[in-house]
Amino acid sequence: MTFNDNARIDTGKVSKRSGARRGGIIAGGGGIVALLLVFGSQMLGVNLMPFAPVVDQLISGSSLSGERTEALPGCETGADANDDAECRMAATADSLDRYWEGQVDGYRSPADVVLYDGQTQSGCGTASSATGPFYCPSDQAIYLDVAFFDMLSGDYGASDGSLAQMYVLAHEWGHHISNLIGTLQQAGRETGPASGSVRLELQADCFAGAWVKDASTVTDDAGVPFLQPVTQQQIADAMSAAAAVGDDHIMESAGVEVNPERFTHGTSEQRQRWFQAGYRSGPAACGTFDVPASEL
Ligand SMILES: [Zn+2]
């Protein structure tokens, strides 16, 4: 989607981390297994399990050596968001936050949206290109390196259109919503075509679609809508991203047999269909935990 050039972005909903080096990490905690909710299945490798058991590391004071955290510089307007991927994420976060505030009773914002370069520590372990973007329930923060978008369009074959990128953040935000409404806690860790993991991921896709439906009505403090109405081409871009990260597509691309018992996110067809359900009918259509397996 295209931002209105004169919309004012509140960048206070994201933070920027850069300059992390390996080393200096003291592993702390004791074997707490964290739930990583990643956008796609793990990339490229044979390990398609998204719930990598991660030893809880230094939740407080968890920055890597040499790492700086700062506010995001140079992102003030919608024009900046149209030009630059990190500004686009900041503006998208602002829009998502305002949208969901009006949808969920007792809404709380995610604790942070961390835009990082290369790697950083999260409450669920190290975030890096190997994890892809994810929502960490234990610190209620989203971790995203915009370098992932090159992988999404290159390795996964998705569109590089702006809505394909915004869908990624909207999906992770959807996990935060599932955390607030309690479905995330129901999901469990089993895999399979009707598993809680698949239901949770399809719910996040549906929530992303719900935001897209009304995104052009969300305004900044001065009443300027952040986004122009979505175009059919942009919807096609988001559909292309949803298809690219379907379990069946990822397994095929990785050269492994498509095995539904290992599904964690849903097929390309399901991910597109649930995104569209949200886009057509809003969050009320996102009851992926309430439908029988045959309707998933
Ligand atoms: Zn996800």
What are the domain boundaries of the chain? Answer: 11-295
Calculate how far, in angstroms, residue 257's C-alpha sits from the geometric centre of ligand 1: 22
114: CA distance to ligand 1 center in Å?
16
pLDDT (0 to 100) of residue 145: 96
d(CA 2, ligand 1 centre) in Å: 24
**Cα end-to-end span (Å), the chain:** 28
Provide the greatest CA pair distance for the chain: 53
Structural Rg of the chain based on CA atoms: 18
Cβ 143 vs Cβ 110: under 8 Å: no
Closest-CA residue to 32 (of 123, 135, 114, 127): 123
**Separation of 173 CA from ligand 1 center, angstroms?**
9
Question: What pLDDT, in 10s, does the model give residues 6-65?
Answer: 999 999 999 999 887 654 443 333 334 445 566 665 443 333 333 333 333 333 444 567
**Of all residues in the chain, what percent are helix, strand and coil, respectively (each to 5)?**
40, 15, 45
pTM: 0.88
Length of the chain: 296
**Confidence band, pLDDT 50/70/90 cuts, at residue 73:** confident
Average pLDDT value for the chain? 87
Judged against a pLDDT cut of 60, whether residue 127 lies above it is answered with: yes
pLDDT at residue number 214: 97
CA of 43 from ligand 1 middle (Å) equals 13
Q: Residues whose CB is under 5 A from ligand 1 (ion)? A: 37, 201, 204
Whole-angstrom distance, CA of residue 188 vs CA of residue 236: 32
- The half-sphere exposure of 215 on its side-chain side, counting CA atoms within 13 A, is 32
pLDDT of residue 58: 36
Residue 32 vs residue 193, higher pLDDT = 193
* Mean pLDDT of the 245-262 span: 93
Q: How far apart are CA 206 and CA 170, in angstroms?
A: 10
Instruction: Using the mean position of ligand 1's atoms as its centre, give its distance from the Cα of residue 6 in Å.
Output: 32
Name every residue whose Cβ is closer than 8 Å to that of residue 271 and which is 6 or more positions away in sequence: 201, 202, 205, 242, 243, 245, 246, 265
State pLDDT tens for residues 221-253.
Answer: 999 999 999 999 999 999 999 999 999 999 999
Q: What distance in Å separates the CA atoms of residue 84 and residue 2, rounded to the nearest whole number?
A: 12
Task: Compute, in angstroms, the gap from residue 224 CA to the centroid of ligand 1.
Answer: 30
What pLDDT does 25 receive? 43
Q: What pLDDT is stored for residue 61 in this prediction?
A: 44
Per-residue pLDDT, 258: 95
Rounded Cα gap, residues 211 and 192, in angstroms = 27
User: Can you give the pLDDT at residue 148?
Assistant: 94
216, pLDDT greater than 90: yes
Distance (angstroms) between ligand 1 centre and the Cα of 83 equals 26
CA of 278 to the centre of ligand 1 (A): 15
Q: Which pLDDT score, from 0 to 100, does residue 173 have?
A: 98
Give the percent of the chain with pLDDT over 90.
74
Q: What is the Å distance from ligand 1's center to 201 Cα?
A: 5
Nearest to 91 by CA among 215, 222, 251: 215
Q: How far apart are CA 208 and CA 128, in angstroms?
A: 23
Rounded distance from Cα 81 to ligand 1 centre (Å): 24
pLDDT score recorded for residue 66: 76
